[in-house]
């Protein structure tokens, strides 16, 4: 039986960062990854010379440490955040609330009058937050529709701490300008969107994976915190001094013996999104109007957003070709439609937007990810605390988006892994 000082479960970005920073201090650290590749949701896959990331990824961090780490010995492309929104046949510059000029007069009047009479209350949920920021009409027709697509539930079921810079409030002056004039300055939380020239987003993580002992196809099936042992599907066991888990909280609880009923119940109540990725390879070159991605508000179209690997980096496609990916999300406790139905509806939706022609489609691919994002429902903080307190009690250290149950961007995942390593070593790495 192998004995390890620091055992990391999961070779996603946070697990890689944790092991990388532990190794920098000469601390022994290995990573056990259940799948056949490292990278987690920052990984990618290739089909016939087309490379697709797992969901959309760019680096827009302003943290110099992470920026330097990602770009170490790596050639990168820097994109301006040119994004658009599709709303019932209309294309609106992003963010939509600042760029409403193309709508018909009647709808613009409804939006503006609703904005003038918006409620003045202290929001208790995301539904109320949206109404307070934008007025009832815009809130109901734009972000609430998108919420159903992206989070798989109603806005009133979400709390608001997660919002941060993700949604931009608007002034009367800004709304009037956006209603009257086509060209408004880009107002986005990221100034630049960085992406590797070659290898997909995963290449940013290469520096973390180098010289790290990553054991693939190593699925944990049982953890004994008393004896400090992890049992694996291949029949092996590893004893540890420190166990760092990036496994989603509901899943890691299933690996533990004798978990109190209250903790099991709290873990079951942690909600999250799962999702399909529909990837489309195109025979000809499309510029997609220079956009990196666009958001969709139509109720009838299943996907929440679409992005273009071929625009992110030419290396993602063969010469003369192009590609796109659409994301379709669901709450974990709601029915998930059959993938063939989703694929058909997604292609129909893409064709309806007019961005591609059916004759140019070379192939399509659909894949399912069981964990896409953490849902910040109204009970998240209480349920999360119960589970995390229990893990602390049995000396399991959580890390990463799903290990800590936080809405972490990639730079935050790197820093989270670094912080865990510093917590273990007591050093400032």
**Tens digit of pLDDT for each residue in 72-108?**
889 999 998 888 999 999 999 888 998 999 999 999 9
User: Looking at the structure, do residues 173 and 319 belong to the same domain, yes or no?
Assistant: no
pLDDT number for residue 415: 97
User: Looking at the structure, do residues 260 and 381 belong to the same domain, yes or no?
Assistant: yes
- Candidate from 18-32, 156-170, 276-290 with smallest mean pLDDT: 156-170
pLDDT exceeds 70 at position 183: no
pLDDT exceeds 90 at position 5: yes
Q: Which domain range does residue 362 map to?
A: 48-80+188-194+272-374
3-state secondary structure 183-250: CCCCCCCCCCEEEECCCCHHHHHHHHHCCCEEECCCCEEEEECCCCEEEECCCCEEEEEEEEECCCHH
Helix ranges, 122-237 (H)? 126-134, 136-141, 143-150, 172-180, 206-209
Q: Which tokens is 4 given?
A: 């390890």
Q: What percent of the chain has pLDDT over 90?
A: 85
User: Looking at the structure, do residues 107 and 160 belong to the same domain, yes or no?
Assistant: yes
In a domain, 110, yes or no: yes
In a domain, 17, yes or no: yes
For residue 294, what is the domain's CATH number?
3.90.660.20
In a domain, 328, yes or no: yes
- Among 180, 202, 230, the domain-final residue is 180
How does 291-305 read in b/e, with b if 16+ C-beta sit within 10 Å?
bbbbbbbbeebbbbb
Span 327-342, average pLDDT: 95
Strand partners, 193: 79
pLDDT exceeds 80 at position 191: no
Helix (H, G, I), strand (E, B) or coil at 14: helix
In a domain, 415, yes or no: yes
pLDDT number for residue 330: 96
**Tens digit of pLDDT for each residue in 112-150?**
999 999 999 999 999 999 999 999 999 999 999 999 999
pLDDT exceeds 80 at position 166: no
User: Looking at the structure, do residues 362 and 387 belong to the same domain, yes or no?
Assistant: no
User: Looking at the structure, do residues 311 and 241 belong to the same domain, yes or no?
Assistant: no
Question: What is the overall mean pLDDT for the chain?
Answer: 94
CA distance 317 to 309: 8
**Tens digit of pLDDT for each residue in 366-397?**
999 999 999 999 999 999 999 999 999 999 99
Instruction: Report the domain count for the chain.
Output: 3
pLDDT number for residue 185: 59
User: Looking at the structure, do residues 235 and 302 belong to the same domain, yes or no?
Assistant: no
User: Looking at the structure, do residues 285 and 365 belong to the same domain, yes or no?
Assistant: yes
Span 36-57, average pLDDT: 96
In a domain, 43, yes or no: no
């Amino acid at each position: 039986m192998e004995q390890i000082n620091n055992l990391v479960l999961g070779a996603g970005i946070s697990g890689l960062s944790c092991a990388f920073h532990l190794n920098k201090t000469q601390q022994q650290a290995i990573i056990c990854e259940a799948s056949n590749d490292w990278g987690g949701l920052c990984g990618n896959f290739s089909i016939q010379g087309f490379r697709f990331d797992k969901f959309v990824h760019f680096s827009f961090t302003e943290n110099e440490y992470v920026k330097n780490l990602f770009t170490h010995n790596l050639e990168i492309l820097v994109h301006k955040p040119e994004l658009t929104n599709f709303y019932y046949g209309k294309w609106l510059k992003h963010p939509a609330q600042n760029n409403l000029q193309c709508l018909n007069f009647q709808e613009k009047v409804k939006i503006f009058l609703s904005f003038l009479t918006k409620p003045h209350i202290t929001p208790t949920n995301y539904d109320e937050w949206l109404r307070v920021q934008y007025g009832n009409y815009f809130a109901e027709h734009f972000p609430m529709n998108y919420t159903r697509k992206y989070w798989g539930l109603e806005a009133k079921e979400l709390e608001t701490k997660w919002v941060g810079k993700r949604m931009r409030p608007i002034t009367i002056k800004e709304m009037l300008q956006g209603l009257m004039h086509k060209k408004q300055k880009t107002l986005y939380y990221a100034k630049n969107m960085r992406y590797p020239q070659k290898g997909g987003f995963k290449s940013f993580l290469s520096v973390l994976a180098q010289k790290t002992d990553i054991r693939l196809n190593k699925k944990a099936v049982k953890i004994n915190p008393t004896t400090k042992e992890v049992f694996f599907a291949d029949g092996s066991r590893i004893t540890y001094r420190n166990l760092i888990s990036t496994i989603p909280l509901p899943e890691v609880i299933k690996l533990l013996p004798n978990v109190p009923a209250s903790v099991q119940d709290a873990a079951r109540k942690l909600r999250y999104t799962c999702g399909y990725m529909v990837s489309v390879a195109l025979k000809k070159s499309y510029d997609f109007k220079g956009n990196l991605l666009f958001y969709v508000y139509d109720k009838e179209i299943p996907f929440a957003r679409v992005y273009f690997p071929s625009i992110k980096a030419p290396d993602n496609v063969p010469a003369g070709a192009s590609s796109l990916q659409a994301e379709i999300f669901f709450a974990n406790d709601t029915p998930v439609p059959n993938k063939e139905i989703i694929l058909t509806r997604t292609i129909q939706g893409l064709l309806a937007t007019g961005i591609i022609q059916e004759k140019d489609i070379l192939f399509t691919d659909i894949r399912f990810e069981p964990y896409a994002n953490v849902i910040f429902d109204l009970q998240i903080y209480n349920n999360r605390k119960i589970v995390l307190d229990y893990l602390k009690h049995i000396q399991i250290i959580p890390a990463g988006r799903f290990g800590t149950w936080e809405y972490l961007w990639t730079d935050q995942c790197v820093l989270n892994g670094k912080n865990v390593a510093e917590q273990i070593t007591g050093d400032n790495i």
